[in-house]
Amino acid sequence: MAGKTLAEKVWDQHVVVRGEGEGSARRPDLIYIDLHLVHEVTSPQAFDGLRLAGRGVRRLDLTIATEDHNVPTIDIDKPIADPVSRTQVETLRRNCEEFGVRLHPMGDLEQGIVHVVGPQLGLTQPGMTVVCGDSHTATHGAFGSIAMGIGTSEVEHVLATQTLSLRPFKTMAINVDGELPAGVTSKDLILAIIAQIGTGGGQGYVLEYRGEAIRKLSMESRMTICNMSIEAGARAGMIAPDEITYEFLKGRPHAPQGDDWDIALAAWEQLKTDEDAVFDAEVHIDASALTPFVTWGTNPGQGLPLGASVPVPEEIADETERHAAEKAVRYMDLEPGMPLREIKVDTVFVGSCTNGRIEDMRAVAEVLKGRKVAEGVRMLVVPGSMRVRAQAESEGLGEIFVAAGAEWRQAGCSMCLGMNPDQLAPGERSASTSNRNFEGRQGKGGRTHLVSPAVAAATAVRGTLSAPADLD
Ligand SMILES: CC(C)[C@H](C(=O)O)[C@@H](O)C(=O)O
Ligand code: SF4
């Protein structure tokens, strides 16, 4: 019998009841869930459902909530001005209190974006099943766990039973060969992967990122990659745990301690794809050929190396792609054929669950140190959690941001999406370290270019899409 992939191993360890049938006709499996993360947007109806059915939360010890999408990132001691956001946050607080769910509210040191908070507390661990009513749950796959976004009715099911009925998946290996050149980051890599396989390329698959370049990445960088698996349409993305994973986890508040650590480690070391395992699909990408990568269009797959030019739609042979490019170029208000480096921005956003961690803050500070944000450019630096903020402060990074003329904010999803006061005005253009560049994502009529933290910082200094190497 052929060996198993990492994803198959983790899945098999969590099957409570196996679905009947074989192959594509196999019915869903009932899967045990090890960690359930909750935020204000997708939980209200789930708690309502529990209340109506007279049920409680089955595993309070495996459930944790935080406020992230609707929170402002300044004046957090004042009441939330927007009534919809205020209701969302207050509802979460009421629900968590009533059901006994642990909540990290605004102002708390552990508050922040749900996908930053889980790993930072050591709650996310190798070999787990992790769910959240949020598509970027894939982030947690960086620890070698199966981490999936779920809908509100599934949130209710997990709250009530700690299990979920899930369809079996296909496996895809993303083999990243060679080494990333200096100045090229994991954000550039994932943008290049999505440009290669397309926003639907991962549909039905759990992706496993493998190869030399991946092994060398920090946990923060691995999270950036897994985070965007959903932008390739995948059900989840994973990376096998290794020394870098264990080093990150050791000593965190919820990581196993003492003998439990040794027992856990022995189990985690088994979590790799067997040599003779067969993936349903394999993709290769040459890391050594990559340069900083940015998006020009309105989906995360419409990206190119920074040194390239805006596509000329008439030159695109495939009709569907041509139409998509025409539409995107129009919405983005770009000249076909213009160098990407000439695109001027008025806003730079650093943050989100893709690039709001300490490593990202450091990368931005390194570029901004001793430099100024260009005239007419507004730059927001938003830590993914209050702990990231505190760490950045202790390293003196906050001062660097402020001295450069950037706004150094409190934690939250912020300008990643238009659910809080941090938004683009119609017609404004941003370079953003977030993960989605859909029409209006950062505010109605706003235009988004997805970039790495280093590119975001260099762009803030020059006012046009730039890499640190473009600065003198
Ligand atoms: C609001 C939430 C449900 C949504 C998601 O599922 O991803 C948000 O986090 C996003 O990034 O668009
Ligand atoms: S930071 Fe953005 S992508 Fe991440 S959870 Fe918040 S809104 Fe979604």
Domain covering 6-283: architecture: 2-Layer Sandwich (3.30)
What average pLDDT does this structure show over 107-115? 97
Best mutation site among 136, 231, 353, 414 for ligand 1, i.e. most ligand atoms within 8 A of its Cβ? Answer: 136
CA-nearest residue for atom 9, ligand 1, is 134
What average pLDDT does this structure show over 265-276? 98
Grouping H, G, I as helix, E, B as strand and the rest as coil, residue 69 is: coil
The token pair at 267 is: 């189990």
The answer to whether residue 120 scores a pLDDT higher than 90 is yes
What average pLDDT does this structure show over 422-430? 98
pLDDT at 48: 98
One-character DSSP codes across 25-71: GPPPEEEE-SEEEE-TTTSHHHHHHHHHHT---S-GGGEEEE--TT-
Domain 340-470 has CATH 3.30.499.10: yes
Ligand nearest to the CA of 68: 2
Categorize the per-residue pLDDT at 23 as very low, low, confident or very high, splitting at 50, 70 and 90. Answer: confident
Question: From the alpha carbon of 419, which atom of ligand 2 is closest?
Answer: 7
What average pLDDT does this structure show over 54-62? 98
Ligand 1 binding pocket (C-beta < 6 A) is 41-42, 69, 134-136, 149, 417
pLDDT at 24: 78
Residue-averaged pLDDT of the chain: 97
* Per-domain residue ranges of the chain: 6-283, 340-470
Give pTM, 2 decimals.
0.98
The answer to whether residue 25 scores a pLDDT higher than 90 is no
Tell how far the Cα of 335 is from the centroid of ligand 1, in angstroms: 31
Cα–Cα distances in angstroms (integers) from residue 147 to residues 46, 139, 207, 251, 258, in the given order? 19, 7, 11, 22, 27
